A and B are shown apart, each in its own frame.
Chain A
Amino acid sequence: MDIMKSILIGLVVLILLPNATLAHKVNLFAYAEDGMVYTESYFSDGRKVMNSTVEVFDAKKNKLLLTGKTDKNGEFSFKIPQATGLRIVLTASMGHKNEYLLSEDEVRDALGMVSASEKSLPESVEKEKKQISPKSLTQIYDNQLEAIVEQAVEKKTAPIMRKLIKIEKQIQKPSLQEILGGIGYILGLMGIGIYFKYKSKR
């Protein structure tokens, strides 16, 4: 009986230990911009992950490209090593690990490389280049400016659009949680059915 009590007390103490129970998982988020990759890591209770190892792999060939450590803000950034998909793995204390996959499109966008869906210069600028018609100088500059601004905005929003579409696609599929939830409801109804049928049997 005393052994049981001491085991129980030991378990309660372990449960009450501060760090062990607060973090259910570690979250890692990364985005690529202007030739750099910026990562942020935090535990699910919001605490920043400090001084933890980050490894970057080639997404397809799984070759280790570089490693580093998160700073006291939970951030770690690095120059893009190559124009492929990147798998970023974070290893935090006490067995927490997570990874984030940067798609090849995102990496190429940040390097300023043309991805498959990027459009070429709008036709208005192309036409202006071809014809040297007697228009006023300011009009030519206005049209070109508009075209350049449009193209710059398009370049910035294209990766955002792609990410939104990816998220939307993920929402459409029935998730595992929903399937398990549905089966849970069915089992619950079964329990209710058994209860009432049993009562009517007696």
Chain B
Amino acid sequence: MHISEGILSAPVLLTGVILAAGGVSLGLKKMEYEKIPEVAVLTSAFFVASLIHIPIGPSSAHLVLNGLLGLLLGWPVFSAILVGLALQALLFQFGGITSLGVNTFNMAFPAMVSFYLFRLFNRRYNRYMFIFSGFLCGVIGILGSALLVAISLVTTGEAFLIAAKLIVIAHLPVMIIEGGITAAAVIFLNKVKPELLTKEVRT
């Protein structure tokens, strides 16, 4: 999911930087003072999540947690993912520095989709809808990122359909696992601290 250095062309990298910068500045403006520790904790979780490997046949994929981060944070998820990716690139050489903008957008945009999707599904509390929307957000996080990565790779000459199919199929197990994790997290938070979930939608 992390695009490494030297793969994408300069225009794509620049577009990524501009899109990510827009998201991050919006996120910084919308970051509430009381929420900053929560953002930090979730950034740490995102940072460490990539070290948890899920073996898939010969290779393996890793957890991303962007769906969960998105539905909990909203726009500040851009800042969280930017910091997480920057530290992963600098300390573990995961991904790249020039591709930081593209990677941030690829992971944070589906996270924002999760945010709105979760609130859409939970206008009225229905236990099964609640659990399902949690699962769906986890899946959308990975699926959206996979599709955006495929789009990013199109400019390198790879046909979109082939790249998209490959990446999406490779990440199917991850989607299911992340969906499960997100659903479980959402159920747990609802019992322990429901204020974390209903950020903008106050019922």
State the A residues within 8 Å of B (CB): 174, 178-179, 181-183, 185-187, 189-190, 193-194, 197-198, 201
Contact = CB atoms under 8 A, between A and B. Distances in A.
Nearest to B80: A186
Nearest to B37: A190
B83 interface: yes
Given A179-B48, A179-B51, A189-B83, A194 B36 contact: yes
Contacts of B84: 186
A201 B33 contact: yes
12 contacts: A174-B91, A179-B47, A179-B51, A181-B91, A182-B87, A185-B83, A185-B87, A187-B44, A189-B40, A190-B39, A193-B31, A194-B36
B92 interface: yes
Q: Which of A182, A185, A193 is packed against the most chain B CB atoms within 10 Å?
A: A182
Contacts of A194: 33, 36-37
Contact of A183 (B36, B39, B47): B47
Contacts of B182: none
B145 interface: no
Nearest to A179: B48
A182 B36 contact: no
Given A174-B92, A178-B92, A186 B47 contact: yes
Interface on chain A toward B: helix, strand, loop, or mixed SS? helix
Interface string B27-49: 00001010011011001100110
A183 B40 CA distance: 9
Contacts of A182: 44, 47, 87-88, 91
A179 to B, nearest CB: 6
A187 B87 CA distance: 12
A190 B47 contact: no
Interface in B125-177: none
Contact of A186 (B33, B40, B51): B40
Nearest to A178: B91
A189 B79 CA distance: 11
Given A186-B47, A193-B36, A198-B33, 19 more contacts: A178-B92, A182-B87, A183-B44, A183-B47, A185-B83, A186-B40, A186-B44, A186-B84, A186-B87, A187-B40, A187-B44, A189-B40, A190-B36, A190-B37, A193-B31, A193-B39, A194-B36, A197-B36, A201-B33
A178 B47 CA distance: 11
Nearest to B90: A182
Given A182-B87, A186-B83, A197-B31, A174 B36 contact: no
Nearest to A193: B36
A189 B84 CA distance: 11
For the complex of A and B, the 3 pairs showing the least CB-CB separation, nearest first, are A190-B40, A182-B87, A178-B91
Nearest to B48: A179
B193 to A, nearest CB: 19
B114 to A, nearest CB: 21
Contacts of A186: 40, 43-44, 47, 83-84, 87
Contacts of A190: 36-37, 39-40
A180 B143 CA distance: 30
Interface string B80-102: 00011001100110000000000
Interface string B54-98: 000000000000000000000000000001100110011000000
Q: Which of A178, A190, A194, A198 is packed against the most chain B CB atoms within 10 Å?
A: A190
A194 B37 CA distance: 8
A178 B87 CA distance: 9
Contacts of B92: 174, 178
A177 to B, nearest CB: 9
Nearest to B84: A186
A178 B92 CA distance: 8
